[in-house]
């Protein structure tokens, strides 16, 4: 491919059919915005320069694009006067005058870098002034048609509204992705007129200009047409989202992941899985989640930006920004909030919520607990129904449970508090003060067993056990 490659991404359109306060290209599928997917494909080409044309909602769109691909030059198109006008602004903003220029749309999330690369290579090999990535489709309605002469050479691209009835029957259409020789593009942009049905400056008119100048025009059909499809409304967005997911899930299966029910499994584009991971039905692996070999996820689990260790099991859980160690067990019905770190071989069991908690190697929180702002040492076991009370009404405090602690059931650890190595706590203990290593902490009054048969009007219940006498 040419050593000088400019990519122009068109992202100025309004997207009225989305009926959204969010700009069209910022709508997400597969864990990235639509324009985010396009930029990922563009980045794969390693272009010399990237220009994005922004207009509608550019306060949102511009910074988003620059956050994803910082070298992008933003060109502002105040008024959407057509793709030819948009590209002219982009060329002026970038100062491009040599090499190859690729024009893509910001709303085609399934586009792959490899397809762009192959297209640019075909364009360059055929020494075209302009080339279009085309597609042969059953329903060409709405697209620019590729008009070829008897020899099969491309004569023009005719937009839907300007096409004759015969031209409307042409099944070969323009994807809107075009490649140009930069010199030809710079010369022809000022010559595009807007004398057409929409009164817009059509970039596709460059094809006719090239023909008139006796230059070569290429149209290279792409087999995988869906890569060029844009989403104009939320129905199309969901369709593309489903197709993207189908492709991602299929790729992971080919790479050695078992997915029991691909239809109910959702995997974002940036997720990384290892061979022999098993994903059970109803699971969503989102964001930058990473799962190690032999781990079993699901059923009915959603993990966003989580790291799951080798051989871990996560059953019916919801997690975000949590790290689960090798061979650890989570769930069923666990809520892993940000900052949860479970060590290798550890356990976060049924109906347990964790937040900002480091749970050591082999440590266990098996049942019905809240663990927040805490450190739990290696091998400790937290009793069923234990609550880490972190908030005193003004600020939050940390709890430290050292190694090998045996917690009783139904405890409350009132932070800040430290429970030393090898300590134990009694059932129902409310731990407000530090527990020295190796001691047993009990709290609460002694048990009183009262005589049920005492007359209702009797002022004092009668003691029936020796405990009562002590208190
Ligand atoms: C365009 C093509 C058509 C092709 C179709 C593929 C032209 C004239 N027509 O038609 O041949 O079949 O795409 O989807 O190019 N945009 C701007 N500024 C503008 C106008 C558009 O940035 O002033 C952006 C839009 O946001 C969009 C892209 O350019 O991302 C295409 O524009 P759109 O108006 O949707 O063109 P179509 O009529 O679909
Ligand atoms: Ca369009």
Q: At what angle do helices 34-43 and 58-68 cross, to 10 degrees?
A: 30
The secondary structure element, H or E, covering residue 40 is helix 34-43
Taking the model in full, what pTM does it have? 0.93
Whether ligand 1 lies within 6 angstroms of the CB of 13 is answered as yes
Rg, C-alpha atoms of the chain: 32
Show Cβ contacts of residue 12 under 8 Å, excluding neighbours closer than 6 positions. Answer: 53, 54, 55, 56, 58, 77, 80, 86
Is the separation of the CB atoms in 265 and 247 below 8 Å?
A: no
* Nearest-atom index, ligand 1, CA of 229: 14
pLDDT band at 469 (very low <50, low <70, confident <90, very high): very low
Query: Left, alpha or beta for 215 (phi > 0: left; psi -120 to 50: alpha)?
Result: beta
Ligand 1 pocket check for 172: Cβ under 6 Å: no
What is the structure's pLDDT at 461? 59
Backbone angles phi, psi at 349, to 5 degrees: -95, -150
Q: Which residues are catalytic?
A: 367
Q: With bands split at pLDDT 50, 70 and 90, how would you rate the model's confidence at 87?
A: very high
Does the CB atom of residue 158 touch ligand 1 within 6 A?
no
251 touches 269 (CB < 8 A): no
Per-residue confidence band for 471, with pLDDT thresholds at 50, 70 and 90: very low
Span 229-272, pLDDT tens digits? 999 999 999 999 999 999 999 999 999 999 999 999 999 999 99
Query: CA–CA separation, 131 vs 123, rounded Å?
Result: 6
Say how many C-beta atoms besides its own lie within 10 A of residue 151's C-beta: 6
Distance 82 CA to ligand 1 centre (A): 7
Look at residue 286 in the predicted model and tell me its pLDDT.
98
Straight-line distance from the first to the last Cα atom of the chain, in angstroms, rounded to the nearest whole number: 90
**pLDDT value of position 102:** 98
Cβ of 175 less than 6 Å from ligand 1: yes
User: In the predicted model, is pLDDT for residue 467 greater than 60?
Assistant: no
Helix ranges restricted to H, 267-312: none
Q: Which of 92-101, 172-181, 233-242, 262-271 has the lowest mean pLDDT?
A: 92-101
pLDDT at 468 over 60: no
Q: Is residue 26 within 8 Å of residue 35, measured between CB atoms?
A: yes
Distance 107 CA to ligand 1 centre (A): 10
Strands 217-221 and 272-273: unpaired
Q: Mean pLDDT across the stretch 177-195?
A: 97
Q: For residue 55, which atom of ligand 1 is closest to its CA?
A: 22
Q: Using an 8 Å Cβ cutoff, are 420 and 437 in contact?
A: yes
In tens, the pLDDT along 272-291 reads 999 999 999 999 999 999 99
Each residue of 306-324: b (16+ CB within 10 Å) or e? Answer: bbbbbbbbbbbbbbbbbbb
Q: Which atom of ligand 1 is nearest to the CA of 80?
A: 23
Per the listing, tokens 């550890």 go with: 346
Mean pLDDT across the chain:
95
By percentage, how much of the chain surpasses pLDDT 90?
Answer: 92
């Amino acid at each position: 491919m040419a050593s000088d490659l400019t990519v122009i991404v068109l992202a100025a359109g309004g997207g009225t059919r989305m009926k959204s306060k969010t700009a069209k290209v910022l709508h997400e599928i597969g864990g990235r915005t639509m324009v985010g997917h396009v930029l990922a494909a563009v980045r794969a080409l390693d272009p010399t320069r990237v220009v994005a044309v922004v207009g509608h909602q550019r306060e949102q769109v511009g910074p988003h694009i620059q956050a994803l691909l910082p070298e992008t030059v933003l060109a502002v198109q105040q008024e959407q006067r057509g793709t030819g006008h948009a590209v002219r602004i982009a060329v002026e903003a970038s100062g491009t005058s040599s090499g190859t220029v690729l024009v893509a749309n910001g709303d085609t999330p399934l586009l792959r870098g490899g397809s762009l690369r192959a297209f640019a290579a075909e364009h360059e090999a055929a020494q075209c002034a302009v080339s279009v990535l085309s597609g042969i489709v059953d329903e060409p309605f709405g697209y620019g048609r590729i008009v070829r002469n008897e020899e099969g050479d491309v004569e023009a691209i005719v937009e839907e509204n300007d096409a004759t009835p015969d031209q409307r029957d042409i099944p070969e259409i323009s994807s809107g992705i075009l490649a140009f020789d930069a010199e030809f593009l710079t010369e022809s942009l000022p010559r595009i007129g807007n004398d057409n049905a929409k009164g817009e400056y059509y970039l596709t008119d460059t094809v006719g200009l090239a023909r008139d100048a006796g230059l070569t025009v290429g149209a290279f059909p792409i087999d995988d047409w869906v890569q060029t499809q844009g989403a104009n409304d939320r129905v199309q967005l969901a369709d593309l989202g489903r197709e993207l997911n189908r492709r991602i899930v299929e790729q992971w299966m080919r790479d050695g992941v078992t997915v029991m029910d691909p239809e109910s499994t959702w995997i974002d584009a940036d997720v990384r899985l290892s061979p022999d991971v098993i994903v059970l039905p109803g699971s969503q692996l989102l964001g930058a989640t990473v799962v190690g070999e032999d781990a079993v996820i699901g059923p009915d689990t959603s993990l966003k930006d989580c790291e799951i260790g080798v051989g871990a099991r996560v059953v019916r859980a919801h997690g975000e920004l949590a790290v689960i160690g090798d061979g650890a067990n989570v769930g069923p019905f666990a809520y892993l909030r940000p900052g949860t770190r479970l060590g290798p071989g550890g356990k976060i069991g049924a109906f347990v919520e964790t937040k900002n908690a480091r749970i050591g190697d082999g440590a266990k929180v098996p049942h019905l607990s809240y663990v927040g702002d805490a450190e739990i040492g290696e091998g400790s076991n937290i009793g069923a129904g234990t609550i880490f009370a972190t908030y005193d009404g003004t600020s939050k405090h940390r709890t430290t449970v050292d190694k090998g602690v045996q917690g009783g059931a139904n405890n409350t650890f009132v932070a800040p508090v430290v429970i030393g190595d090898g300590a134990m706590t009694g059932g129902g203990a409310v731990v407000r003060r530090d527990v020295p290593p190796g001691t047993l902490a009990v709290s609460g009054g002694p048990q009183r067993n009262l005589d049920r048969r005492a007359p209702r009007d009797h002022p004092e219940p009668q003691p029936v056990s020796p405990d009562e006498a002590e208190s």
